[in-house]
Chains A and B, each alone.
Chain A
Amino acid sequence: MAAAGWRPRGRTRSTTLNVVLRILVAAALAVDAAVHWQLAPGYQLAAPGGIGQGNLFHLEAIVAVLVALYVLVRGSRPAFTAALLVAGSAFVAVVLYRYVDIPAIGPIPSMYEPVWFFGKSVSAVAEGLGALLAAVALVTHRRRD
C-alpha cells in the first residue's frame, strides 16, 4: 500500500516538465506581448488604414498576455493549444511580412517590412520558441493521457 503523498517517479517527472513548459511558454508570450505593445503607437501612425497596424499589435499583445496567464494557471491541453495558435500565427505573420510584400487584405493593412531589427528579431524568436514549446507540451500531454 502506497504511503500518502507518494507519486510514481514518471508522474513526478512529467509534472515538473509541465511546470517548466508552462513557465517558458508564458515567458515567450510575454516577450511577444511586450514588443508588440511597445511598437504599436508608431506603427499605428505609419499604417492607420483598415483596423490599423498599431491596433493589430495591441490586439496581439492583449491576447498573448491572456493566453500566457491561461497557460500559467491551467497548463492544460486547451491552454497549450491556444498558446500554439497565438505564438505560431504571430511567428508565421512576422516571417511572411518580412519576405513577402502582401497588399492590404480587407481591414488588415499592408505590413510588409523587409528588415530585421533587434526588437523584431527578439519577438520573432520568442514566438517561434513559444510555439515549439507549446507543441512539445501538447505531445507530452498526449503521452500522459
Chain B
Amino acid sequence: MKSPKAMAVIASAATLIALAGCGTSGGQGTPPPGAASSSESSSSATSATQPDTITIKDFGYQGPISVSPGAKVSVKDLDAQAHTVTSDDGKSFNAAVDGGGGTAEFTAPSTPGSYPYHCTYHSNMHGTLVVK
C-alpha cells in the first residue's frame, strides 16, 4: 500500500500532466480537422463571387487589397462629391467617378507589384492596389 505522501505526489503529477495537455491544445490552437479547409473554402468562395470593387466612402478608399494582373476593377463612389482613382505614377490606371453612387472601371496593370494611388481632386486621399 502506498503512503499518503506518495499518493499526493502521484496526484500532483497527474494534475500537471493534465494541465500541460490543456495548454498544448489551447496554446497552439490546432484547429479541429475540417476547420481549415472550411475557412479556406469560405475565403475562396468570397473572392470568387465578389467583383474587384473599390468603394469610396467618407473620403476614403475601401477596396480590394489585391487583384489579378489585368483584372477589371470597378470603382463605386458613395460620397456626394466626385473622386478619382489615379495611380501615383500617372500612367498605370486612372478612373474618374461621379458622386452620389457613380461607378467607373479600370484595368489593373498586367505586371505584378504594388501600385499606390490617390484622388486628384482631394490630395489627402490615398490607397494602394496590389497586383499579384
Tell me if chain B binds chain A. Answer: yes
Interchain CB contact under 8 A, B82 and A115: no
For residue A43, CB closer than 8 A to chain B, the reply is: yes
Please classify the interface of chain B as helix (H, G, I), strand (E, B), loop, or mixed, using the class held by over half of its residues: loop
List A residues 121-142 near B (Cβ within 8 Å): none
For residue A45, CB closer than 8 A to chain B, the reply is: yes
Interface string of B71-88 (1 = CB under 8 A from A): 000000000111100000
Q: Which of A24-32, A69-77, A106-114 binds B?
A: A106-114
Residues of A in contact with B, size category: 10 to 19
B contact residues around A53 at 8 Å (CB): 81
For residue B120, CB closer than 8 A to chain A, the reply is: yes
What's the count of A-B pairs with C-beta under 8 Å? 39
Interface string of A93-117 (1 = CB under 8 A from B): 0000000000000000010111101
Evaluate whether A110 and B122 lie within 8 angstroms (CB atoms) in the complex, with A115-B58, A115-B59, A115-B60 already known.
no
- Cα of A42 to Cα of B118 in the assembled complex, Å: 12
Residues of B in contact with A, size category: 10 to 19
Interchain CB contact under 8 A, B81 and A115: no
B contact residues around A39 at 8 Å (CB): 123
Nearest B residue to A41 via CB reads B121
Further 12 A-B residue pairs, CB within 8 A, beyond A42-B122, A43-B122: A42-B121, A43-B81, A45-B120, A45-B121, A46-B81, A46-B83, A46-B121, A110-B81, A112-B80, A114-B58, A115-B59, A120-B124
Interfacial residues, chain B to chain A (CB-CB below 8 A)? 58-60, 80-83, 99, 119-124
